[in-house]
Amino acid sequence: MRINYILLFPLLCGMLASCADRKEFTIEGKISDAKDKTVYFEKAGVSRTVVLDSAKLKGNGTFKFEQPAATTPEYFRLRLDNQYINLSVDSTETVRVDANAGEFATGYSVTGSAESEKIKTVTLEAMNLRRRLVELDKQYAARKINAQTFSEEVNAAVAAYKKKVTPFIFENPRAAVAYYTLFQRVNGLLIFDPYLKGDYPAYGAVATSWDTFYKGSERAAQLYDITLNALRLQKQGNAPVADFSNVQEQNQIEIVLPDIKGKQIRLSDMKGKVVLLDFTAYQAEYSGPYNIALAKIYDKFKQKDFVIYQVSLDNDEHFWKTTASNLPWITVRDKEGVYSKYARSYNVTSLPTSYLLDRDGAIVSRGGSVQELESKITKLL
């Protein structure tokens, strides 16, 4: 068979050029004490995580993954059993990870990616915060501390965490670690809340930088939408609402909880009336005087389509029932206590916390003195 070398030469050159132009990044390393275990390489997207590759480890524990390089920062993770190592890659670099199977998520080292090293620092700080919150939860469950003390200690722990990791956001808002830090969750709680005025500047800084340098990317669009919504709600006075996955018409987040007789009471059933939504704990020292103040407001407006929907976060059901039975307004209890998803959705960070809702169920204001509440309720009625 005769080969036309004149035609074959351009084809080979094209193939070689294509190989030379192909850009990839590499994740490689070694995991000791992990023989026959499988390490997974995953991509952490905005809405879901997908497995890109995997490798069954041999005696030496080495692994190597290669993927096409991205033009914007992307986030990946190595998974071994139920432990994770978070990484970021935005070019053709080679990142090396060395770890031990027993301390895979905490005792690893990473080289070749300054952003991944910083992400490790943020991750370890988040783990420390998680351990502190678990410790406080145990103390609260054992009644060694009351709900108010629990709330104060949680706030102090979160504040300390923020102080340590905030520099990673503002030193270089376009960096991968800045975005990663913003979206860290601990026990399901988004630590940096875009709907809190104190945290909004962090989101604004990262959103602006990503829109400038990575315009058109999925994450830049996500940041833009979040900051735009947060700014709009702050202007409307509704900034405390933090979780919009459950927001219904007029920005109301539905709550369905049982009263002392076990009947499920829906917050949305209160539409048509002015509602004081109140999160509290009857076991707290403030509770007695606080409920007396609420009673004065309730007595003044109860004949004018005004209701109080009070959510107890007490861990003692019997204590709650005994106290609630003496109150004239709607009282319900969330058995999840201070880890209530409803409290988290309304961004309750301390007790008591209240919200005033108009007849359409829209949040008008958060908290305020008795005098301020009376004035606002009068205007709504």
pLDDT of residue 79: 96
Nearest one of 357, 344, 361 to 268, comparing CA atoms: 361
What is the arrangement of strands in the sheet containing 363-366, beginning at the earlier edge strand? 330-333, 306-312, 274-280, 353-357, 363-366
CA distance 230 to 121: 28
CA distance 176 to 16: 33
CA distance 174 to 149: 38
pLDDT of residue 352: 84
Rounded (10°) angle between helices 287-301 and 370-380? 30
What is the arrangement of strands in the sheet containing 74-80, beginning at the earlier edge strand? 49-56, 38-44, 74-80, 83-89
Cα angle value 356/199/350 (rounded, 5°): 45
Q: What is the DSSP string of 36-103?
A: T-EEEEEEE-SS-EEEEEEEE--TT-EEEEEEEPPSS-EEEEEEETTEEEEEEE-SS-EEEEEEEGGG
pTM (predicted TM-score): 0.62
Cα angle value 182/184/187 (rounded, 5°): 145
What are the tokens at 371?
A: 């005098």
Q: In the chain, how many H helices and how many E strands?
A: 11, 17
pLDDT of residue 4: 47
Find all residues with CB under 8 Å of 284, minimum gap 6, and list them.
Answer: 146, 147, 148, 351, 352
Cα angle value 188/191/195 (rounded, 5°): 105
How buried is 371 (Cβ within 10 angstroms: 0-12 exposed, 13-18 middle, 19+ buried)? exposed
Q: What is the pLDDT along the chain (381 residues), one digit of tens a residue?
A: 444 444 444 444 444 444 445 588 999 999 999 999 999 999 998 878 999 999 999 999 999 999 998 888 999 999 999 999 999 998 778 999 999 999 999 999 999 999 999 999 999 999 999 999 889 888 877 888 887 788 788 889 989 999 999 999 999 999 999 999 999 988 666 788 887 778 888 998 999 999 999 998 999 998 988 888 777 666 654 443 333 233 233 345 789 999 999 999 999 999 899 999 999 988 877 888 888 989 999 999 988 899 999 999 887 888 899 999 999 999 999 988 777 878 877 777 778 888 899 998 888 887 667 677 888 888 888
CA distance 123 to 181: 9
C-beta neighbour count of 331 within 10 angstroms? 25
pLDDT of residue 11: 43
What are the tokens at 343?
A: 């409290």
